[in-house]
Chain A
Amino acid sequence: MFRKTLLKLSVLLLVATTILTACGSNNAGGNTANTPENGAAEGVKKEVTFTIGYASGDPAGKKAIADSIKRFMEANPHIKIKDLSETTSSAYLDWLKTKDAVGEFPDLVEMRDTEVFADAGKIVELPEDLRDIFSTLPDVGGKIYNAPLTLTSPQGIIYSKKAYEEAGITELPKNWDEFIEIQEKLKTSGISPIVVGGKDIFHMGFWINKFLIDQVYANDPDWNSKRTAKEVSFTDPNVVQAMTDYKELFQNYIDKGWVSTGDNQTASFLVTGKAAQLFSGPWMFTQIAEADPNFEFGFYAIPDREGKVSVVGLPTLAGWSLSTEASKDSEKTEAIKEFIRFFFQADNYSKYLETTNGIPSTKENINYEATEQMQEVLKIMADQNVTKSLMINNWWGDNLIPPQFRNWYYKLMQELVLKDGDVTDYMKQADTEYDNQVKANAM
């Protein structure tokens, strides 16, 4: 086994050239953070304040954004940013809705349910002069709403090298059956094979979507729109097979207390040797390294039965969005644009990416120190043979599912495992609920 310190290569990766197809050297807006607008800033600049809100579930990501805000305010003393973000037990969408209900919808907001808030008239299109910063900007109906914080990161197995070694695992799996063999070996060695943070419903999505992507979305990216049109069903053999695999894995190889384990506890399970593996994304690397700097771990994407690899990795409708209210105030809008330019400036953005292990969304090449695990992530993303897809709720346009369906479905899948339910019966329930929600939303 390698020592982590040796493996943590100080490679200055030209990340964007590794993974992006659309590259450019245009640094539009990149160095304009302190540039007076319209030459009207001679003398004292007028003080402007705007509010900001972002998902703060990941402590590393929260700190990285908070640091960016601090640096921006130091560089632009006339612009004050009021950070509304708070870590609550509720989902980010609930928090945003609550903020909206009390009239505190952030001026600049990290948007994850873009279509919902765009349809409600809460956010406006991304200003034209910011769009050139980014390599890829997904649009909905020809409209662009988001300045993506990063490109979508894939999920994979984060494993303890020590646990693998002790279980006699010398090779990574080349197909699903080999992956199951590894789970058997780990179980026999006396360690809990996989930790799942099932207390946080979003964490359930990692596994559920792994199976859906392998057996549904990798072959049919328009499955959601077909489901809405009732051309396909959750009771179709491919979906039933996906959920059967999920159920079998959870009943046999997941740590016993998974429903009561929070996502933020999973790193400690891994480093303390309570579990051998975690299925999550590169944002966990920092948490794991902070929990135990000497812990040696690796990362790989799980292949399907035929050995094909499919991961979450297509661009999504997510990122910084400007609120409709803020857009009515030209000074506020300019201040927000300044912040967005500052945030994505190479020297600032690289710090954010390094902390969150993110994949840059900018055209400009971003250099930062990538760990061994992050290099594996970048390799997966650069591999043309790896199918890139999305989670059930991240599709948009005709493929957008009813916004309330995701959590309901994940909970249903928890129940499927806990009550040892019949997969087809549960999929029938999913069909009924999906149709009800489509109908309700159409009213």
Chain B
Amino acid sequence: MATPKVTAEASFVAINKKKKWQPYALYFILPSFILYTLFVIVPTLGSVYYSFTSWDGISSDVRFIGLANFVEIWNSPRVHNALKNTMVLTISLVILENIVAILLAVLVDKVRWLSKVFRSIFYFPTLLSGIVMGFVWAMMLNYNFGVVNQLLDKLGLGAFAIDWLGDPKYAMLAVILSTVWKGAGYYMIIYLAGLQGIPQELNEAASIDGANGWQQFRHITFPLLAGSVTVCMVLAMISALKIFDQIAVMTDGGPGFETETLTYLIYKVGFGELRQGFGTALALVLFFIILIITVFQVKVLQKREVEM
């Protein structure tokens, strides 16, 4: 049986046909477009307006105050403290989550025995909501009845019991470690996908040339994971800058203001302190901070990506 000939001209016509505008496509887009506009675009634009007001969030009195909220953000020691805490948290989380995720990914990639079980175990914390995870850790780290201090007590180390969430020296550390526990599994999956895309021959060749495990990882695996690193670093950074649940449940921004981050401050001033206008202005500032850091991060990280 003779196969039909497909000429170049016929292909061109077919592609052009595909590209032709079909008005009925609009009907498929319209419901999503309306919902997205109503519930995302309009409130977002509305929040830009509210950031220039002194609205308290409950009254109908919405007064335009120009740039006063932004001037206050610039001068407020509380905002500076929240920004500092956010940066400490973000840098720590981006570094630690990625290191732990790469280690876990390499581990489950190498281990053949029960590898699927390990993958599931490491991924499981990711499935928990931040609130649930926060409650669990807050209970475990509670000074009075938490399992961590009770364990220390049972081991005869009761004198070393620490108020993990109530001591300014340890509260941020506790939030960071619990968040790494929750988040690393997610990035592990991305790194695992990256690892499995690396041709085995490269490592085999390096091995024949006498490279040890660390050298193979340092000079082959890690450079070829650069694409995954870019994705994971950006995701981890955005997620850390937006962290809220853990702070709300575990520390309430405390002790004092020790773990108060920008997102938590936005919530506190917007809802708790009846300053919706100021809170919205702060949210806008956070948006631009995330935007600038993300663009910068992507530009820098993409430079070191290696094409295979």
List the B side residues contacting A97 at CB < 8 Å.
57-58, 271-272, 274
Query: Do residues B54 and A415 form an inter-chain contact, with CB atoms below 8 A?
Result: no
Contacts of A256 in B (CB 8 A): 143, 163
A265: chain B residues within 8 A (beta carbon) = 144
Within 8 A of B (CB), among A387-443: 403-404, 407-408, 411-412, 414-416, 418-419, 429, 432-433, 436, 440-441, 443
B70 at the interface (CB under 8 A from A): no
Report yes or no: B54 in contact with A440, Cβ–Cβ below 8 A: yes
Using CB atoms, name the residue of chain A closest to B135. Answer: A89
A307 to chain B, nearest CB (A): 34
Measured CB to CB, the nearest residue on chain B to A96 is B58
Measured in the bound complex, the distance between the Cα atoms of B57 and A441 in whole Å is: 12
Residue of A at shortest CB range from B57?
A97
Q: CB-CB < 8 A to A119: which residues of B?
A: 59
B166 adjacent to A258 (CB under 8 Å): yes
Are A100 and B58 in touch, CB under 8 angstroms?
Answer: yes
Return A362 CB to nearest CB of chain B, in Å: 31
A14 within 8 A of B: no
Cβ of B60 within 8 Å of any chain A Cβ, yes or no, is: yes
Closest residue to B249 on the A side, CB-wise? A89
B276 shortest CB reach to chain A, Å? 9
The yes or no answer to B68 lying at the interface (CB within 8 A) is yes
Across the two chains, which residue of chain A brings its CB closest to B169? A418
Known: A97-B57, A100-B58, A120-B59. A403 touches B68 (CB 8 A): no
- Please name 29 pairs of A and B residues whose Cβ atoms are closer than 8 Å in the assembled complex, sorted by A: A94-B271, A94-B272, A101-B57, A120-B56, A120-B59, A121-B59, A257-B142, A257-B143, A257-B163, A259-B166, A260-B163, A260-B165, A411-B253, A414-B254, A414-B256, A415-B256, A415-B258, A418-B167, A418-B168, A419-B256, A429-B77, A432-B77, A436-B72, A440-B54, A440-B72, A440-B278, A441-B54, A443-B54, A443-B68
Please provide the chain B residues from 115 to 144 with a CB less than 8 Å away from any CB of chain A in the complex: 142-144
Contact with A along B261-296 (1 / 0, CB 8 A): 000000001011111001000000000000000000
Residues of A within 8 A of B257 (CB): 411-412, 415
Chain B CB within 8 A of A31 CB: no
| CB-CB under 8 A for A418 and B255, given A260-B165, A432-B77 | yes
Contact with B along A186-216 (1 / 0, CB 8 A): 0000000000001101000000000000000
Contact B143 A93 (CB under 8 A): no
Q: Given A97-B58, A260-B144, A436-B72 in contact, is the A404-B255 Cβ separation under 8 Å?
A: no
A91 within 8 A of B: yes
Binding site for B on A (CB under 8 A): 89-91, 93-94, 97-98, 100-101, 116-117, 119-122, 198-199, 201, 256-261, 265, 403-404, 407-408, 411-412, 414-416, 418-419, 429, 432-433, 436, 440-441, 443
B65 touches A443 (CB 8 A): yes
Tell me, yes or no, whether B212 is within 8 Å of chain A by CB.
no
Min CB–CB distance A355 → chain B (angstroms)? 27
The answer, yes or no, to whether B78 is at the interface (CB within 8 Å) is yes
Q: Is the interface of A mostly helix, strand, loop or mixed?
A: helix
The verdict on B63 contacting chain A, using a C-beta distance below 8 Å, is yes
What residues of chain A lie closer than 8 Å to B78, measured between beta carbons?
408, 433
Measured CB to CB, the closest approach of chain A to B69, in angstroms, equals 8
Q: How far is the CA of A407 from the CA of B274 in the complex (A)?
A: 12
Sorting the interface of chain B by its residue count into under 10, 10 to 19, 20 to 34 or 35 or more gives 35 or more
Of all chain B residues, which has the CB nearest A404? Answer: B273
CB-nearest residue of chain A to B54: A443
A119 to chain B, nearest CB (A): 7
Q: Would B274 and A404 count as touching, CB distance under 8 A?
A: yes
**At the interface, is chain B mostly helix, strand, loop or mixed?**
loop
B44 interface hit (Cβ, 8 Å): no
Selected from A257, A258, A440, the residue in CB contact (under 8 A) with B275 is A440
Chain B residue nearest to A258 (CB atoms) is B166
A261 to B145, alpha carbons, bound, how many Å?
A: 10
Rounded to whole angstroms, the CA-CA distance of A97 and B273 in the bound complex is 10
B37 within 8 A of partner (CB) = no
Q: Interface 1/0s, chain B 149-185, versus A by CB < 8 A?
A: 0000000000000010111100000000000000000
Instruction: State how many angstroms separate the Cβ of A228 from the closest Cβ of chain B.
Output: 17
B143 close to A260 (CB less than 8 A)? yes
- CB-CB contacts of B75-107 with A at 8 A, as 1s and 0s? 011100000000000000000000000000000
When chains A and B are docked, how far (Å) is the Cα of A416 from the Cα of B60? 38
CB distance from B161 to the nearest CB of A (A): 8
Chain B neighbourhood of A201, CB < 8 A? 252
B256 partner, pick from A98, A257, A260, A412, beta carbons under 8 A: A412
Q: In the complex the two chains form, is B256's CB within 8 Å of A411's CB? A: yes
Which partner residue on chain A sits nearest B76 by CB separation?
Answer: A436
Q: With a 10 A CB-CB cut-off, give which of A93, A418, A432, A433 has the most chain B CB atoms.
A: A418
Nearest B residue to A407 by beta-carbon distance?
B272
Taken together as a complex, chains A and B put the C-alpha atoms of A259 and B254 apart, in Å, by 9
Is there contact, CB below 8 Å, between A404 and B254? no
CA distance A89 to B58 in the complex (A): 21
Chain A residues in 8 Å Cβ range of B143: 256-257, 259-261
Inter-chain CA distance A91–B166, complex, in Å, is 19
Chain B residues near A116 (CB, 8 Å)?
A: 56, 58, 274
CB distance from B242 to the nearest CB of A (A): 19
B273 touches A403 (CB 8 A): yes
Pick from B61, B256, B275: contact of A404, CB under 8 Å: B275
Q: Which residue of B lies closest to A105 (CB)?
A: B58
The chain B residue with its CB closest to the CB of A406 is B273
Across-interface contacts of B144 in A (CB, < 8 A): 257, 260-261, 265
